[in-house]
């Protein structure tokens, strides 16, 4: 999305938690995140007796912090703040920055619009700072965080988080969601001003041409063998146990099948201990991720908490046979029996049923390859359907490019700015009335 917006000529500032590869001093990040000043600027203000948080005049430009980096890639200018890793989920880092941190940057380089993609402390304080500065705000709803707490035995806290999420998003001018089904769900839950933006997929990064036969051999997969892939966080809310159980069902018909799990998370050590025959790669990106997608044959996605599931579109673009529930990207883009195998309801039994269906189709396909039987001469229709399903998934993915998504996003930006101008003009017209003169 950022790449598309920049290509349209817009400028982007990114606020994010500092990462280990940034190699900056922790104390400087902490001071800046709390006060909005660099360590040098804070000491200077204390020595001169100035109020560190006082509003500065336009004639007194602020000095750029050493933590503000200018990049030439899709991120544009980045502002770094503190980060705190979740105690029960070390792979997730929550950004921590006060409203002073945001206001100091907004005064230095005032944005026309603030787009918040996290409802955590970083997003909340950005919302407070933007509203205090009169800058319009829109937000993304990307994850059912309230549902996560059910998987960690904290359902009561989850209900409070659901209330907070609704209040947070209703304080913004527009809440963006990936699908029409998600919009209907949020509207029925009391969310206001919800718009569907959608999601795209990088068709160059995720493509069958990245298939790597040496990678398949290293995973113990024969040339005509079946490699099953899971990609995503290894966390309870992702329903990974069902993915592995489905793979075991596939193995009953295809003993030569292998499974690789790409990603990391709090469940990794348990899953590895219970399933020593499965391959766990940890977090992957770039070429390695593309090759693992394209080198696989089937993709399992049993998550019930994802609002969209970008990994589904990545798997479709890579030409895989997809097993998923009827929600998110699977509902939006794919069709059961044509481009994927979709579980009709959200039960465990229905997901296992389509896993058995895939096993039957792959067994027929393997028999076809072994006897060199062409699709037209095959005795089973499943032989032909498996490959055409994978081809159809790729075709569907090619129609889910980013251009239309970025166009819709830009229109939402312009709409938020127009409302701001209209409101300002309304106030100015009222102030011109005689009683105000």
- Residue 424 pLDDT: 55
- Residue 378 pLDDT: 40
**How far apart are the C-alpha atoms of 180 and 185, rounded to whole Å?**
9
- Residue 376 pLDDT: 42
- Residue 241 pLDDT: 95
- Residue 60 pLDDT: 46
* Tens of pLDDT, residues 294-343: 999 999 999 988 888 899 999 999 999 999 999 888 888 898 988 999 99
* Tens of pLDDT, residues 42-74: 555 555 555 555 544 444 444 455 567 655 455
- Residue 323 pLDDT: 95
Tell which CATH architecture fits domain 2-54+61-201+404-431.
3-Layer(aba) Sandwich (3.40)
- Residue 53 pLDDT: 53
- Residue 431 pLDDT: 53
Write the CA distances from 235 to 148, 158, 271, 329, integer angstroms: 10, 17, 10, 20
CATH 3.40.50.2000 in the chain, residues?
A: 208-398
- Residue 93 pLDDT: 83
* Tens of pLDDT, residues 278-290: 999 999 999 999 9
Residues of the chain with pLDDT under 70: 38-67, 69-76, 88-89, 91, 152, 364-384, 419-437
Model-wide pTM > 0.85: no
- Residue 150 pLDDT: 72
Superfamily in which the 208-398 domain is placed by CATH:
Glycogen Phosphorylase B; (3.40.50.2000)
Q: Helices 155-170 and 121-132 meet at what angle, rounded to 10?
A: 30
């Amino acid at each position: 999305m950022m790449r598309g917006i920049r290509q349209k000529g817009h400028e982007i500032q990114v606020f994010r938690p500092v990462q280990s590869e940034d190699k900056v001093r922790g104390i400087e990040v902490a001071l800046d995140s709390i006060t909005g000043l660099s360590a040098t600027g804070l000491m200077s203000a204390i020595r001169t007796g100035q109020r560190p948080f006082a509003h500065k005049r336009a004639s007194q430009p602020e000095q750029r912090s050493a933590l503000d980096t200018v990049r030439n890639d899709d991120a544009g200018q980045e502002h770094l703040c503190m980060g705190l890793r979740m105690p029960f989920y070390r792979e997730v880092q929550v950004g921590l920055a006060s409203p002073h941190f945001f206001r100091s940057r907004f005064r230095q380089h005032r944005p026309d619009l603030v787009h918040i993609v996290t409802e955590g402390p970083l997003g909340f304080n950005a919302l407070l700072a933007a509203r205090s500065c009169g800058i319009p705000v829109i937000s993304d709803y990307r994850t059912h965080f309230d549902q996560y707490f059910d998987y960690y035995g904290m359902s009561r806290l989850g209900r409070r988080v659901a209330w907070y999420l609704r209040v947070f998003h209703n304080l913004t001018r527009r809440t963006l969601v990936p699908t029409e089904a998600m919009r209907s769900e949020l509207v029925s839950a009391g969310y206001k001003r919800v718009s569907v933006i959608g999601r795209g997929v990088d068709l160059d990064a995720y493509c069958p041409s990245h298939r790597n036969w040496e990678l398949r051999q290293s995973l113990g997969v024969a040339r005509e063998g079946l490699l099953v892939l899971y990609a995503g966080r290894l966390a309870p809310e992702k329903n990974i146990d069902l993915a592995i159980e489905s793979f075991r069902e596939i193995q009953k018909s295809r003993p030569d099948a292998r499974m690789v799990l790409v990603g990391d998370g709090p469940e990794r050590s348990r899953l590895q201990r219970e399933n020593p025959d499965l391959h766990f790669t940890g977090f992957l990106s770039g070429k390695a991720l593309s090759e693992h997608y394209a080198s696989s044959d089937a993709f399992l996605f049993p998550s019930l908490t994802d609002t969209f599931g970008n990994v589904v579109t990545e798997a479709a673009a890579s030409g895989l046979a997809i097993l998923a529930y009827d929600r998110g990207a699977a509902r939006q883009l794919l069709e059961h029996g044509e481009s994927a195998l979709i579980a009709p309801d959200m039960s465990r039994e229905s997901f296992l049923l389509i896993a058995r269906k895939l096993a039957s189709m792959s067994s027929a396909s393997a028999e076809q390859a072994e006897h060199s039987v062409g699709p037209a001469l095959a005795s089973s229709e499943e032989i032909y359907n498996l490959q055409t399903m994978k081809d159809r998934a790729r075709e569907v993915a090619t129609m889910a490019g980013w251009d239309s998504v970025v166009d819709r996003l830009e229109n939402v930006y312009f709409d938020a700015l127009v409302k701001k101008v209209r409101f300002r003009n309304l106030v100015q017209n009222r102030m011109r009335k005689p009683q105000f003169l």
